[in-house]
Structure 1
Amino acid sequence: MAFSQAKGIIEIQNNSDLERKEAVVAIKWETILSHYSQIDTANFVVINTTTKKQIPYQLEHKGLPGIQNLLVQVNVKAKATVRLSIQKGKPNPIEVKTYARFVPERKDDFAWENDKIAFRTYGKAIENTNEDAYGFDVWVKRTNKMVVNERYKLGNYHKDNGNGMDYYHVGHTLGAGNMAPYIKDTIRYSANYHQWKVLDNGPLRTTFQLGYDEWNAGGVKVKAVKTISLDAGSQLNRVENVYTFEDNKPMPVVVGIIKRPEQGVVSLNEQNGILGYWEPTFKEDGTTGVGAILTTPVKNMLVNKEQLLAVIEVKNNEAIVYYTGASWDKAGKITNSGQWFEYLDRFSQELKNPMLVNVK
C-alpha cells in the first residue's frame, strides 16, 4: 500500500506518433495532494508500475515557497501510456542533469547547462569592455556531467580539455537565439542583465530569471524580464519574455542567430516558426547547430549580413514564449544539418502534441 488512503495511479499518455525519450513531465502538486494527502516530501518514491523501477523526480517551486509541480522524467512510446505510482520510501540518488549559477568571479556571467549542452549570458561587470556581447553564448559539451564550475575553475574554457569548450562567437549580435525589440527595422539592444534570480536548480529542470533595466529602444522606453528554463535531455531552452513599454499597440521584436562569414546551412521555416542554422565547421573544434522555435505567428524571417532573424510581435506586459538552443557534432548525437533540422522539426511537433497527465 502506498499510503494510508487509496492509491492514485499517474497516467502519462502520449497520443502522438512520436516516441518521447527522456521527457520531463510536470504534474500539478495539488493533484498529487488530492490523491496522496499524507505524502512526506522527504520520503517518497515514484515507481513505474510495469517495470517496478524508480523514476527520477524533482519538486518544482518556480521560486515560490510551496511546491508547484512534481516533475518526472519518462520514456513513452508513440500512442502509449506510462503508469506511475507513489510509495513511501527512500528515493535513489538522482543524477544532477541541469544546473545554473551567477558567476561573479567572471565579470557577472550567468551560466547554465544540462546533460547535453551549456550556455551563458553576460552581466553588468563586462559592460563597456571589449569582451562585451549582447546575445546568448553556447558552451559545447560531449559529456552528460555538469561542466560549468569545472570550466570556470580551470579558466581556459576556450580549449577543449576533453569534455568540450567555448568556441562560439557572439559579439554585437543576438548570438544563439536572444530576443530584442526591432523598431524601424533596427535591432534595439538592451544593456546586459542587472538582476538575476534562480527559481529552481535541478536535478531535472533549472529555471532562472534575468532582469533588464529600462532602455531607449528607438524612441520606445522598454524594460524586460526573461525567464529561462532548461530541462534534462533537451538541446533547447524555454524562454519566456515579458516586455513592459508605454505603447498600447504591439511592439515588433526579433529572435536572432549570428551568421558566420563562411558557408553554413540555413533553414527558414516561416510557417512553423522554426529558425535553423548549421554553422560552418570551425577547424578542429567541430560544428555547432543553432536553432529557435517560435510559438507565436511569425511576421517575417530574413537573413542579413550578420544574423538570421525571425520577426514577431509582443504586447505590453504579456509573456511571449519561444525555444532556443544548440547542438555540437562532436557530442556524437546530431552530426549534420539534416539531423539538426529534423530535431528542431520534431521538437516543434512535440510542443504541438503535449503528453496528457491524468491521476486516477
Structure 2
Amino acid sequence: MKLIKPLIIGIVLLALHSCKDKAIKITVTNPLDVERSFETVELTKEFLEVTDLTNIGIKEVASGKLQVTQNVDVDGDGIMDVLLFQPVIPVKSEIDYEVVTITEAEKPTAPDYCYSRFVPERTDDYTWENNKVAFRVYGPTAQKMIEDGVKGGTLSSGVDAWLKKVEYPIINNWYKKNSIKAGAYHLPSQEGLDNFHVGVSRGVGGLAVKKDTTYYYSKNYTEWRTITTGPIRTSVYLNYANWDANGNTIKESKVISLDLGSDFSKFEINLEGTNTISAGLTLHEKDGVVSGDNKNGWVSYWEPHGDSELGTAIMASPEYFVSYETYDTNQKDLSNAYANLKVIDNKVVYYAGFGWKERGEFNNKQEWEAHLNDVSKKIQNPLLVKLNK
C-alpha cells in the first residue's frame, strides 16, 4: 500500500502537467461555397489566453507549415495586442491550426507590401498602399497653405486614389521622383500614375454629414499615428478638429486599415454629434454610371478614366448600410455618389476602394459589380474562429 500511494500521486501530477502543456489549437471555418483567401484572421491575447504574442506562431496542423503572421500594437503602448494571419480555407471547410512558440529565426517571412507613412517632403500627406491599390489624405500644413494663400496647398478631407499596377510598394518611388520634378507621378509609368482628381470632393470614401439637402465636411486631418505596416496589414489613426454641420458640432477620428490582397481600405470611424453619415465617391466629369445594391450594402461608380476605365465603391455590413443616392450639382467637385450609413454607439464601419481596368483585374462594370457582391458576401459571412483547448 505504501508503494501504491506515491504511484497514484505521480500519475495525478503527470496528468496535471500534461493538461498544462497541452497545445492550444484553433479551428478556422469557411461557411461559404467559395474559397477564402486574402482575408485576415485577428487573434488577441485574450482570445488565445496568452500574456505575450511576441514569440507566438501559427502552424497548420495537417501540413505542419508555419503561417506568415504580423503582430500589431494597436494602442501604441509598446505591447503587441493582436496577431494577424491569412489562411486559405476551401469551400465550406474548416482547417485546424496550432498555436506554437517559435524563435525570430523560425518565423516565415514575406514582402512588406502593406506600407504607409507620413510624407513631410510633400507638405504633410499621409499615404498608404498594399499590393493592389494606394490612397492618400491631406494634413494641416496643406490646409494652412490654402488658408494663407500659399501656392501648393490642399484643403480637403477627401481620399485620393493612386492607380498603381505593380505589387511592390510605390509610395517612396513616386514621392522621390516628384521631389526631383514636381508633378512627375501624374505622368504614366510602368508602375502606374496619379491621375485621380479629388479637390474638395469625397474622393474614394471621404465622409460627410447631410442636413436637409446640404452635405457638410470636415477639413484636413490634424493628427496622425502609424499603427502598423508589414506583410499583412497597414493601418493609421487620424484625428480631426471639431467641425460644424449646420449647428451640430461633429467630433471625428478614425482608423484606416488596408490588408494584403484587398481593393478596399477599412474605415473605422469614431463620431460624436450625428446619428448618420454619408460616405462619398466623386463623380468627376459625371460621364459614368452610379449603381448600388441595398441588400448587399454597396454603392459604385464606374467611369471612363483617362485612356482606361475605373470603378470606385463603398460598402458596409447591413447593420450600418441604410441606402445610397446620387448628389448632382453644378458646383465644382461637389457631385458625389453617397452611401448613407447609420452611426451605432458613436461608431460606423465601412470599406472604400477601387478597381482600375488598366491593372488587368476588372475589364468592365459587370466584372466590378460581381466583385462587389463577392466581397459583400464575405463581409457578411466572416471566417469563424474557434479556440480548442
TM-score clears 0.5:
yes
Please say if residues 120 and 138 of structure 1, whose CA atoms lie closer than 8 Å, have aligned partners that are also in contact. Answer: yes
Tell me which residue corresponds to 1:290: 312
Tell me which residue corresponds to 2:161: 138
Runs of 4+ in 1 over 6 A off after TM superposition: none
Please say if residues 63 and 200 of structure 1, whose CA atoms lie closer than 8 Å, have aligned partners that are also in contact. Answer: no
Which of the pair is proportionally richer in strand? Answer: 1
Which of the pair is proportionally richer in helix? Answer: 2
Cα deviation, residue 265, structure 1 = 2.8
Q: Once the two structures are aligned, what percentage of the paired residues are identical?
A: 29
Tell me which residue corresponds to 2:39: 23
**Rounded Cα–Cα distance in structure 1 between residues aligned with 2:359 and 2:373:** 20
Cα deviation, residue 94, structure 1 = 2.5
Please say if residues 62 and 207 of structure 1, whose CA atoms lie closer than 8 Å, have aligned partners that are also in contact. Answer: no
Tell me which residue corresponds to 1:148: 171
Tell me which residue corresponds to 1:275: 299
Whether 1:169 aligns to 2:197 is yes
* Deviation digits for residues 61-80 of structure 1 (CA, Å, limit 9, x no counterpart): 21243322221111111101
**Rounded Cα–Cα distance in structure 1 between residues aligned with 2:358 and 2:87:** 26
* Deviation digits for residues 172-223 of structure 1 (CA, Å, limit 9, x no counterpart): 2101111111122211111100111122222311221111101222221222
| Structure 1 residues 294 and 301: CA distance shift in structure 2, 3 A | farther
Please say if residues 63 and 198 of structure 1, whose CA atoms lie closer than 8 Å, have aligned partners that are also in contact. Answer: no
Whether 1:85 aligns to 2:65 is no
| Structure 1 residues 342 and 201: CA distance shift in structure 2, 3 A | same
**SS of the residue 1:325 aligns to:** strand
* Deviation digits for residues 123-161 of structure 1 (CA, Å, limit 9, x no counterpart): 112221565233100011111111111111111211232
Tell me which residue corresponds to 1:54: 66
Please say if residues 134 and 170 of structure 1, whose CA atoms lie closer than 8 Å, have aligned partners that are also in contact. Answer: no
* Matching residue within 263, 275, 279 for 2:287: 263
The alignment of Structure 1 onto Structure 2 pairs a total of residues equal to 347
* Matching residue within 249, 254, 257 for 1:229: 257
**SS of the residue 1:330 aligns to:** helix
* Deviation digits for residues 272-298 of structure 1 (CA, Å, limit 9, x no counterpart): 321111121312xx2221100033141
- Structure 1 unaligned segments of length 5 or more: list them: none
Cα deviation, residue 240, structure 1 = 1.2
**Rounded Cα–Cα distance in structure 2 between residues aligned with 1:126 and 1:40:** 39
Cα deviation, residue 112, structure 1 = 0.4
**Which amino acid is 2:360 matched to?**
G
| TM-score normalized with structure 1 length | 0.90
**Which amino acid is 1:269 matched to?**
D
Cα deviation, residue 340, structure 1 = 1.1
Structure 1 segment 201-220 matched on structure 2, within 5 A: 201-220=229-248
| Structure 1 residues 314 and 31: CA distance shift in structure 2, 3 A | closer
Whether 1:241 aligns to 2:269 is yes
**Which amino acid is 1:29 matched to?**
K
**Rounded Cα–Cα distance in structure 2 between residues aligned with 1:323 and 1:134:** 16
Higher mean displacement: 234-243 or 194-203 = 194-203
CA-atom RMSD, angstroms?
2.2
**SS of the residue 1:74 aligns to:** coil
Higher Rg: 2
Higher mean displacement: 130-139 or 70-79 = 130-139
Whether 1:117 aligns to 2:133 is yes
**Rounded Cα–Cα distance in structure 1 between residues aligned with 2:40 and 2:295:** 27
* Deviation digits for residues 230-289 of structure 1 (CA, Å, limit 9, x no counterpart): 1111111110111223xxxx4442111011325323212233321111121312xx2221
Tell me which residue corresponds to 2:13: none
| Structure 1 residues 359 and 192: CA distance shift in structure 2, 3 A | same
* Deviation digits for residues 50-89 of structure 1 (CA, Å, limit 9, x no counterpart): 3332311011221243322221111111101122223434
| TM-score normalized with structure 2 length | 0.83
Cα deviation, residue 299, structure 1 = 4.5
Cα deviation, residue 40, structure 1 = 7.4
Cα deviation, residue 303, structure 1 = 4.1
| Structure 1 residues 311 and 32: CA distance shift in structure 2, 3 A | closer
- Structure 2 unaligned segments of length 5 or more: list them: 1-19, 179-183, 330-334
Please say if residues 141 and 153 of structure 2, whose CA atoms lie closer than 8 Å, have aligned partners that are also in contact. Answer: no
